[in-house]
Chains A and B, each alone.
Chain A
Amino acid sequence: MSSHEHAPVGGRLLTPVTFFCVVLFILALAVLGVRFVHGLGSVTHLNDGYPWGIWVVADVVIGSALACGGFAVAALVYIFNKGEYHPLIRPALLASLLGYTLAGVGVLFDLGRYWNFYHIFMPGYASPNSVMFEVAVCISLYIAVLWIEFWPAVLEKFGLADAKKKLVGTMYIFIGLGMVLPMMHQSSLGSLLIVFGHQIHPLWQSMLLPLIYLMTAVLIGYAIVLFESCVAAAGYRRSIETHLLNPLAKVMLGVLAAYLVIRVGDIVARGALATAFQFNLQALFFWLEMVCFALPFYFVGSEAMRRNPANLFLGGLYLLLGGILLRINSFLIGYMPGDNWSYFPSTGELVVTVGLFALKIAAYIIITRRFPVLPREQHAVAA
């Protein structure tokens, strides 16, 4: 975490992009106002068959998975001792921080009795055998850990070198927690679905769901680093860290290959493959998901293709889409509560979800412009 690695990007905070994002967020706030005054039913299309909608699936399940960059890169740097990826840690950590914090806040919107939220922190209310309890506790703890992990950047910004030194001295504890906690709850998000039993379509219902969810969380972590580096490079007109992203893409492909072997092997072993060839929504979305998982091999599979940053970007993007689709498919498309139940998010739900993602983008831009997060540029960049 040496200070020479990172630097603020600088520039104006109010740009058309940040302005547009803030407007979207204000729209979301308006919808949330209605939700908190008149209740969930007034805004959402949730019903007794579908008590979880996109606020849970997109804001929490997908939001926290997209925030796995910090965890995935930290695993490379600290567990596999690949120090060369260190410059990527802070931006990934910032994305994780924003993603997890807003996932935690997003849970509040979906809680019917949100005023009881603090019960999760009270031992008297704890139900240690519950998967949901584990997810909730791990996510809350991990949010705290992420803030601590990111804190050196803030101290650096305000020139508090002594404080930063002390904090960095204890950082190994938080790095350890920062590895364990996401592994616990990202896998548990899959375990949640096991509890649903036959209500989940056989293409997704599996005892391997915890592993599937954990591996895709790691994959999404690498993909988001590719994606975010490319977008930051394009958006800030910076040079792209191809020398870091290329080997990272190779690591990513290795994990992806392992994942696909496990995923397809599991479907075949459970005898669920036939359901993929039926003509229905589930099968269609299953193939969409699989195609998204396969496309990165085309885009970043060869050294030649990887040389073009656009392919790195597209490879990361399709892997992201694959991970997102897996979560949407297993939580909503492949979720079958019984005859006649249906769910499609309402306008209000979509506005809130879009607003939350917009807030993340705005916050990412504002923080990277003012705090030392992104890798320091080697050369002056043409404005």
Chain B
Amino acid sequence: MSATREPALAHYVAAEPFEPYAAEQLTPEQERFYRASQWRIMWWRFRRHRIAVVSAAILVLLYATTLVSEFLAPYNLHTRDSRHIYAPPQEVRLFDQGRLVGPFVYGYSMHLNMQTLTREYTPDPAKVQPLRFFCLGDEYRFWGLVEGRFHLLCPAEGGTLYLLGTDRLGRDLLSRIVYGTRISLTIGLLGIAVSFLIGITLGGISGYYGGWVDTLIQRLIEMVRSFPELPLWMALSAALPVNWSPLLIYFGITIILGLLDWPGLARAVRSKFLALREEDFATAAVLMGATPGRVIGRHLLPSFASHLIASVTLSVPGMILGETALSFLGLGLRPPVTSWGVLLNEAQNINVVALYPWLLLPVVPVFVVVLAFNFFGDGLRDAADPYK
């Protein structure tokens, strides 16, 4: 502070007003991000996973169809057409000999091949059968309750409309697949509900209390996991009483599927519990006198609910495939309950593949749904931890 020294620089004062927080000012996007709830951020992250979003849309659509299967299917589930057994798929056309007719199909002309003893169907250009939309067709009971005849799509009067062909009783495969969706898709959900219940309870107890309870449950999990699933499923479903109604069998199968699925979930729940119960907020809750039930339900569960949902989504396809396999072997669902597996049961030998390849078509929805669930689950899992 000596007066003798000249200042090196002239005194300078900036003209702008002084704002000490200018550097820390948030842009509107950042502000939106920091203020958003956890679920909202998860949604943003999920949205970035394109394939997962598409998969989610497909799944929503498929589940929506199960609500109105009767309306969407052109035929009733059980309608038999003895004149068209093992008929190949009919192709939808727009033009008949250069003339626009709108969507129509050619009728079949059938003759018996006496050498191979098979029916041979050929499209007959003389029979032009225009499709009808929003029309009256086969009778059905909507969800088994309300009678109706209204369909999205019907064959022409006196004509046929087998877009995916027919089976050995002359039943329309497309309609059967549409009805099968209802069973195949819900069986996964119900199975998951069972496994979810067991998994969360046992995993939660194991993780929260620790000690010998934990050891016991861990051993149990190891044992269940070390058992090959399918043989055990086979044994369990072979044990279902023969005199049960198809509906009871359906519930039996869902429970069997769920019974073997829980260990993975229980393990995930336990490891999350072990990590989270050491967190400050859990300790704080305990110190403030919260009961174990409240600590678990109000503080611990919500903080890893997203993980749970993701891992659950990833185990649905396993169940759908499991049901398909069991029904294929004839151990699962029984007709008249119709699932994709039951439909595939008809395609059991190599002759079918050679002669009536369209009977393999129910595998397409299985494939699509399993893939969609996998991608959807992947997307959810990536989004589950939005703060990473």
Does B bind A?
Answer: no
